Amino acid sequence: MRAPARRFTQFNRMSLSTWLLAGPTAVGKSEIAVALAERIGGEIVGADAFQIYRGLDLLTAKPSPELVARVPHHLIDEIPPTHSFDVSQYLGLAQSRMAEIRARGKIPIVCGGTGLYFRALTHGLADLPRPDFALRSQLEAKPLPELRAQLAALDPVGAASIDSQNPRRLIRALEVCLLAGRPFSSFRKEWAAPANQTLGCILLLRAREELYSRINERVVAMFSAGVVDEVAASSEMGPTASQALGLREIRDFLSGRISRDECIAAIQQSTRRYAKRQLTWFRKEPTYRHVDAAAPDALERILSSHTDA
């Protein structure tokens, strides 16, 4: 078995500039990414919209200290939670970190579940208007149903495909519509170019029942590990970090509006829904090779997945 491993490593070093390891929450990305990095001489670059913020380690399910100690990690726990952060900022930082990793003779392994970040890495970004924080503040003051109705009026195509439960996405789409004077969805046509073929794109999957069970168990484990105290001690957060999954529910529990059991159940449900949305996004991406994260030979399947690329 060791000779094929060396052959895979040699191929990957010569042919692939970067590995992209995507998948839904709780599928097991962090552990597999570290194993892959140790096998091929890589370093990990996070691609998670909330893990990039400092603090709330339990709530955002950041890689454990043990995993971080085994392989260098980047773009995790780096941005102050009061700062707004978007895909264009992520792309600039990620490209810079990946260049630094390659300069050290290592291979970047981008790992996470934020589909828009991966899409920017594979296809680049359309020339979207820069954020207008005055306009964004006005939009943030509007209730969710009003945001949905306004986007449906300005961009029916975009409104039909966007995550309508995510205020951050709705606000950004409206901001682009209003600043550019054209539908937000029209910019997506500029992402139609072929994906970068020097990337090894992997989508990690599990059977739905198993994935949902892992999500439920992880939420319970977060509470046992002290996530409530973590949220209670958290500092001020900006409009992006404050959208972290489970934050609102735990704050409701802390204020006495819901019970502990209700809080756990609500976070489990919202996390399962989020995982479903992630899978819907990534399954539409044709460049990703699907790998069963539960397979005993998952790492070997990843290493062999692009030998014919």
Rounded distance between C-alpha atoms, residue 247 and residue 274, angstroms: 14
Rounded Cα gap, residues 167 and 190, in angstroms: 24
Tell me how long the chain is.
309
- Full pLDDT tens readout for the chain, 309 residues: 333 333 333 334 335 789 999 999 999 999 999 999 999 999 999 999 999 999 999 999 999 999 999 999 999 999 999 998 888 899 999 999 999 999 999 999 999 999 999 999 998 877 778 778 889 889 988 998 999 999 999 998 888 878 777 888 888 889 989 988 888 877 765 554 445 556 789 999 999 999 999 999 999 999 999 999 999 999 889 888 999 999 999 999 999 999 999 999 999 999 999 999 999 999 998 889 999 999 999 999 999 987 644
Residue type, 259: S
Whether 34 and 44 have beta carbons less than 8 Å apart is answered as yes
Residue 185: the pLDDT is 79
Asked whether the whole model's pTM tops 0.85, one would answer no
| Per-residue three-class SS string for the chain | CHHHHHHHHHHHHHHCCEEEEECCCCCCHHHHHHHHHHHHCEEEEEECCCCCECCCCCCCCCCCHHHHHHCCEECCCCECCCCCCCHHHHHHHHHHHHHHHHHCCCEEEEEECCHHHHHHHHHCCCCCCCCCHHHHHHHHCCCHHHHHHHHHHHCHHHHHHCCCCCHHHHHHHHHHHHHHCCCHHHHHHHHCCCCCCCEEEEEEECCHHHHHHHHHHHHHHHHHHCHHHHHHCCCCCCCCHHHCCCHHHHHHHHCCCCCHHHHHHHHHHHHHHHHHHHHHHHHCCCCCEEEECCCCCHHHHHHHCCCCC
Residue 153: which residues within 8 A CB-CB, separation 6 or more?
none
- CB neighbours (10 Å) of residue 214? 19
Confidence (pLDDT) at 198: 63
Contact 245, 50 (CB under 8 A): yes
* pLDDT of res. 165: 79
Ordered domains of the chain (ranges, CATH) = 2-125+193-304 (3.40.50.300), 133-191 (1.10.20.140)
Distance CA 62, CA 54 (A): 10
In whole angstroms, how far apart are CA 250 and each of 31, 56, 154, 164, 235?
Answer: 27, 12, 34, 22, 15
| Assigned token pair, 84 | 């707004």
